[in-house]
Amino acid sequence: MEYKDYYKILGLERDADQAEIKRTYRKLARKYHPDVSNEEQAEDRFKEVSEAYEVLKDPEKRAAYDQLGAGYHSGQEFRPPPNWDAGFEFHGGGYTEADPEAFSDFFESLFGRAGGFAHGYGGARRRQFHAEGENTYAKIAIDLEDSYRGGTRQITLKHSVLGPDGRPQIQERKLNVKIPKGITEGQQIRLAGQGEPGVGEGKPGDLYLEITFKPHPLYHAEGKTVYLDLPLAPWEAALGAKVKVPTPDGPVNLTIPPNSKDGSKLRLKGRGIPAREPGDLYVILNVVAPPANTEAEKEAYRQFSQAFKFNPRSGMGG
């Protein structure tokens, strides 16, 4: 996927203020609108210009894009880092007249309906004297162990406001959030009244926090199911063994059956993420051959080879 330089698409410098971005978009939109334009590839250019404006007109999307894209150039191979948007608080703000579903894969990977927080963009703010505040949305990364135990965690959210120079500025706020025991990735925590303030006597909106798990050195989760790769020596796999296995809920003693194969799965029922029906934890066996660095170790391998007369390629006609 190619990185898109939205400033270059609009012909703007990165320090352009919001008024300049708006003026430039209107000029280019008139030039390339497919209903009136005679320009070559007008429809494609209109979509490209509308996509760039969709991001740069919104202070929060622009600030997130600016932070993500530092050091990238248009056309450069690009993959957004996992949870790149964690901690950013996104408010409402409608789409341009273009269809966002027609935008590029680059836009979709960052702000599209299938991910990010596009579901939170609920249209233009109401301007009545009394109006409810909009809901806001953010993704937060927690430890997998937090899901096992629950508890209160302090989080920091970044959101953007327009500064006096017309450019977005990042501000932070800290919140104490209760993490429910058993929460899984993709689920949301609703904080009533923590969204955008209302106008006049209108009540404030709510804040929705989407949960993602931080990368873990041992485990990864899919729904309520948790997976652990367990290294084994060849003799442990061949002869069987009893080994102590870590789990997010504490270590357990696991029996390794004799003649276990690399990649085999052993299920620890109910050791996954807790719930009314808790998930399972699967231990994936990873047979690791020790290195032969010393002469004694090499001789042990030679004796091993003589004892077994084993050809792992026999099924290939070798």
| 191 close to 178: Cβ distance less than 8 angstroms | no
Contact residues for 286 (Cβ-Cβ < 8 A; gap 6+): 229, 230, 231, 232, 262, 263
- Asked if the model's pLDDT at residue 93 lies above 50, the reply is no
Q: What is the pLDDT of residue 118?
A: 38
pLDDT computed for residue 131 by the predictor: 66
CA 285, 289, 290: angle at the middle one, nearest 5?
130
Both tokens assigned to 299: 């001789």
Tokens of 23: 């003026």
Q: Give residue-wise pLDDT tens across range 168-226.
A: 777 888 999 999 999 999 999 999 999 887 766 678 889 999 999 999 999 999 999 99
pLDDT value for 70: 67
How confident is the model at residue 59, as a pLDDT? 80
Q: Where are the beta strands (DSSP E) in the chain?
A: 89-90, 136-142, 151-162, 168-179, 188-191, 207-213, 219-222, 225-232, 241-245, 252-256, 265-268, 281-287
**pLDDT, tens digit, 9 for 90 and up, residues 116-141:** 443 333 333 333 445 677 888 899 99
Cα 185 to Cα 92: distance, rounded to the nearest angstrom: 23
126-150 in b/e form (b: 16+ CB < 10 A) is eeeeeebbbbbbbbbebebebbbee
Q: What distance in Å separates the CA atoms of residue 291 and residue 50, rounded to the nearest whole number?
A: 58
Through-space distance between the first and last CA atoms of the chain, rounded to whole angstroms: 42
The whole-angstrom separation of Cα 32 and Cα 49 is 9
Q: How far apart are CA 80 and CA 88, in angstroms?
A: 15
pLDDT of residue 240: 96
- Mean pLDDT of all residues in 100-126: 54
